[in-house]
């Protein structure tokens, strides 16, 4: 049997055609419910007509790239955590102390080299914090000297632990200054895309891809 909606006879002898429910008046499936009163939603709020004009972009749930300052803060946390672990060891844990010291040195070598070659020059130009950055560079040298002293000393003894505490105190002071003064100023003065470009360059270096100019 052929279905027909033009013949009364055929229509009477056929199954009724399914009908789609008509949307309730004043509603659209793709928009905010509109009340009969023009310019308001069903809840009585003013309609933002421009909201429907905004283009939709797909993010696929991807997290936006972090700023370089956020990644450097993560480094700070790892270094201080490793130093705390090192300070909690006993004299009989010579191998553990050496392993933790190597971890701190590796973290700081990559961290400080990127700051000095990429981040500090850009932050200096953008913020004008010359004195702050000069102090940070001096503190890098101080940390290097303390690391060299620890590497040259026997880790069995109180003297080694004293120098390790000096290193931890020096780095804590340095980190506090950076995170309270330089990083906030850099985040305000350097455009977001540049902060993210430096992040990509730093992560490439961390992943063993060699140095890549930010941007």
Reference 75, options 197, 210, 183, 166; nearest CA is 183
pLDDT higher than threshold 50 for residue 63: yes
pLDDT higher than threshold 50 for residue 129: yes
pTM of the model: 0.68
Q: What is the mean pLDDT of the chain?
A: 78
Quote the percentage of the chain above a pLDDT of 90: 61
pLDDT value at residue 59 = 39
Mean of pLDDT values over 19-33: 44
Comparing 17-26, 61-70, 130-139, the range with the smallest average pLDDT is 17-26
Mean of pLDDT values over 86-112: 94
- CATH code for the structural domain at 68-206: 1.20.120.520
pLDDT band for 161, please (50, 70, 90 cuts).
very high
pLDDT higher than threshold 60 for residue 210: no
Do 107 and 78 contact (CB within 8 A), yes or no?
yes
pLDDT higher than threshold 60 for residue 132: yes
Do 151 and 109 contact (CB within 8 A), yes or no?
no
More confident residue, 64 or 80: 80
Do 82 and 104 contact (CB within 8 A), yes or no?
yes
Q: Is 179 left (phi over 0), alpha (psi -120 to 50) or beta?
A: alpha
pLDDT higher than threshold 90 for residue 150: yes
Comparing 35-49, 89-103, 161-175, 198-212, the range with the smallest average pLDDT is 35-49
Locate all alpha helices (DSSP H) within the chain, ordered by sequence: 8-13, 68-87, 94-114, 120-127, 130-152, 158-177, 183-189, 192-206
Do 69 and 195 contact (CB within 8 A), yes or no?
yes
């Amino acid at each position: 049997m052929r279905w027909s909606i033009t013949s009364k006879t055929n229509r009477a002898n056929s199954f009724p055609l399914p009908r789609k429910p008509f949307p309730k008046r004043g509603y659209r499936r793709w928009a905010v419910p509109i009340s009969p009163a023009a310019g308001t939603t069903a809840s009585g709020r003013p309609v933002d007509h421009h909201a429907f004009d905004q283009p939709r972009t797909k993010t696929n749930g991807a997290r936006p790239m972090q700023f370089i300052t956020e990644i450097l803060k993560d480094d700070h946390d790892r270094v201080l955590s490793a130093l705390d672990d090192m300070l909690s060891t006993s004299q009989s844990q010579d191998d553990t102390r050496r392993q933790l010291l190597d971890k701190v040195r590796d973290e700081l070598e990559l961290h400080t080299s990127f700051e000095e070659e990429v981040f500090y020059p850009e932050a200096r130009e953008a913020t004008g914090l010359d004195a702050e950055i000069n102090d940070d560079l001096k503190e890098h040298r101080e940390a290097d000297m303390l690391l060299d002293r620890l590497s040259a000393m026997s880790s069995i003894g109180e003297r080694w632990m004293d120098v390790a505490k000096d290193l931890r105190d020096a780095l804590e002071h340095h980190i506090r200054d950076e995170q309270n003064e330089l990083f906030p100023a850099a985040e305000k003065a350097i455009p977001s895309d540049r902060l993210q470009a430096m992040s990509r360059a730093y992560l490439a270096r961390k992943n063993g891809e060699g140095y890549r100019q930010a941007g």
